Amino acid sequence: MASLIPPATEAEARAIQQALRTQVDTTGPGPQRPATVAGLDVAYAKDERTLAAAVVLLDFATHEVLAESTATGVPAFDYIPGLFAFRELPTLLTALSRLPATPDLLVVDGHGLAHPHRFGLACHLGVLTGLPVFGVGKTRLIGTAAEPGPDRGAHSDLVDEGELVGRVLRTRPGVKPVYVSVGHRIDLDTACAHTLALTPSYRLPETTRAADQACRRALAAG
């Protein structure tokens, strides 16, 4: 796993991002039948001086929670658009290192290639860990797309500057879609199929829901 030392300046962060971006593997197809999947999320205190990261390991088929780990810390970098991952990665990776087993797949509450620099949190995390990762965002960060049909599974391409960067996917009938994008070692079709498998009852994946609850509990516990 790569060093967790955060960059000291914006220029250094951009240089790191540019260097790591060349290591992203989008050839896929990625794990077709993972046994386990982990969701990752971060919660911030009201003053944003403290954060809590959670990683929750689920059985992919049943969505049963098998284990969870958390870590608390402080934002490791200033808020700069396009470099947000640097704020959270040290604490997220600490939480991931405390998990008792290595997941077959990671799902982040955020974006991968659907990022201004084509290197969102899902990409960054994938390159640092070597694990297959994709992102499921609640909102669009970049790009344009047609509104997908109203039925579950309807989708449309998310395109930015002529490049396919993700997919707008309807996980529940008549409910706002989510934004799926590749992070590392998985392709878009597989990421979307897994997103649907992880959303049997709600708009967001069970991984995201479990990790959101876990990081909020960790933050409240101090």
The residue type of 167 is R
Q: How far apart are the C-alpha atoms of 150 and 171, rounded to whole Å?
A: 10
| Residue 160 assigned ligand-binding role | no
Specify the pairing of strand 133-137 against strand 178-184: antiparallel
| Residue 109 assigned ligand-binding role | yes
Q: Count CA atoms within 13 Å of residue 188 on its CB side.
A: 18
Q: How far apart are the C-alpha atoms of 46 and 69, rounded to whole Å?
A: 22
Contacts of residue 191, defined as CB under 8 A and 6 or more positions apart, other chains included, come to 30, 134, 167, 180, 181, 182
Q: How many residues does the chain have?
A: 222
198 neighbors 135 (Cβ within 8 angstroms)? no
Specify the pairing of strand 36-44 against strand 51-59: antiparallel
Instruction: Cite the annotated binding site for Mg(2+) by residue number.
Output: 41, 109
